[in-house]
Amino acid sequence: MSDTAVRYLAMLKLVPRYPNSITTTALAGRLNDNGFGVSIRSIQRDLEKLSTYFPLVVDEDVRPHQWSFERDATVEIIPALDLPAALTFELARAYLTPVLPQRALSHMEAHFKGSRKALAHDEELFGKWPERVRVINRGLSGRRPDIDPDVLEAVTEALLTERCCELNYQARNWPAPEIVTVHPYGLVFRDPNVYLIGRIDGRDGIRQLVLHRARSGIRLDEPAELPENFNLDLFIRSGAMGILKSTDPILLRIRCDKPAMNHVLEAPLGLDQCELRNTDTDFEISVTVRDTQDLRWWLIAQSTNIDILEPDWLRDQIRQELQAGLDRLSKN
């Protein structure tokens, strides 16, 4: 391959998708960093030539000219999208479509089009894949709250650049919306909500801000103050994403019926889950869990298939909750 052809490929990889763009001056600097010494005028001629074969657009109203790929341009530059990659994009589309606003998904639409095009080449084996894959969430499938696309973009940009973001936010227990500056630590997708984990400027403690409660948002230039010891996985495992009933962990021992509760063996409730006994009809486990509202809901929901062996106080509380429910039903 000639040096010119290699330079063309390197140049195409540096051109972003509209509405982002890159100037010929910036291209010259990036190419020079990659070992291609070329003048701005040569780059301009190269791009004009390449635009006859690739969906490139130019803004000639500014100097130097700014170049982009068309907004809806499919990704067809070498390497070609192979079938495993195409299937991966289709799975990503299936998972992300229910979660993200349409405008956020639009940034990936060119990749999704490319995956569908790649799959269509072998219609018999893979062409109907998009029609045969669905993502179903457990529990009630209610309508997900709408998130303002500007808010999601501001938050994700702030996270990536380690900057603060400003939100017009209405917490459930606030009397009115407030303009707050947030130092973002992480983003958690917990169906059906999306949570921004971070600290509100001027207030103590780590907050969980539900993004659909933000009316507007912008990314700020102010650097975010990030704690050195914060770990998003440890934060989640601490039970902080659930409603804590107490700060003390629980050593839970339960007897589970088979086969209804086999999924507990396949997907352990905690890192230290230990199988104590296992018969043809049931099994016993012990595991350390956080004392959260989610734990109580799970124990109540599975009450016909499990026995709470320890601790006694938790078994008594679940019994009281179930009895209260039965008493309410008996009044109807």
DSSP secondary structure string, 168-219? Answer: EE--TT-SS-EEEEEEEEEEEEETTEEEEEEEETTS-S-EEEEGGGEEEEEE
Ranking 71-80, 208-217, 268-277 by mean pLDDT, the lowest is 71-80
Ranking 18-27, 94-103, 141-150, 194-203 by mean pLDDT, the lowest is 94-103
What is the reported pLDDT for 88? 77
pLDDT: is 3 or 201 the higher one? Answer: 201
Q: Please classify residue 169 by burial: count the beta carbons closer than 10 Å to its beta carbon, then call 0-12 exposed, 13-18 middle and 19+ buried.
A: buried
Average predicted confidence (pLDDT) for the chain: 83
Residue 141 has pLDDT above 60, yes or no: no
The pTM (predicted TM-score) of the whole model is 0.60
What is the reported pLDDT for 52? 86
What is the reported pLDDT for 260? 92
pLDDT band at 106 (very low <50, low <70, confident <90, very high): confident
Q: Which two tokens stand for residue 112?
A: 């999704």
Average pLDDT of the segment spanning 110-126: 69
Average pLDDT of the segment spanning 21-35: 86
What is the reported pLDDT for 317? 94
pLDDT band at 321 (very low <50, low <70, confident <90, very high): very high
Residue 332 has pLDDT above 90, yes or no: no
- Contacts of range 22-31, beta carbons closer than 8 Å, 24 or more positions apart: 22/66, 22/67, 22/68, 23/64, 23/65, 23/66, 23/67, 24/64, 24/65, 24/67, 25/64, 27/67, 31/7
Residue 74 has pLDDT above 70, yes or no: no
What is the reported pLDDT for 150? 86
pLDDT band at 108 (very low <50, low <70, confident <90, very high): confident
What is the reported pLDDT for 128? 65
Interatomic CA distance for residues 330 and 38, integer angstroms? 84
Interatomic CA distance for residues 100 and 135, integer angstroms? 14
Q: Which residues does residue 330 pair with via DSSP β-bridges, in sequence order?
A: none
Interatomic CA distance for residues 259 and 256, integer angstroms? 9
Residue 246 has pLDDT above 60, yes or no: yes
What is the reported pLDDT for 136? 65
pLDDT band at 193 (very low <50, low <70, confident <90, very high): confident
Domains of the chain: 3-69 (1.10.10), 83-132 (no CATH), 149-229 (2.30.30), 250-330 (3.30.70)
Interatomic CA distance for residues 307 and 76, integer angstroms? 57
Q: Which two tokens stand for residue 13?
A: 């990889």
Residue 56 has pLDDT above 80, yes or no: yes
What is the reported pLDDT for 216? 92
Amino acid at 96: L
pLDDT band at 77 (very low <50, low <70, confident <90, very high): low
Residue 79 has pLDDT above 80, yes or no: no
What is the reported pLDDT for 318? 94
Interatomic CA distance for residues 286 and 319, integer angstroms? 20
Phi first, then psi, for residue 24 (nearest 5°) are -65, -30
Q: Which parts of the chain are beta strand (E)?
A: 22-23, 56-59, 66-69, 163-169, 178-190, 193-200, 207-210, 214-223, 250-257, 274-278, 282-289, 306-310
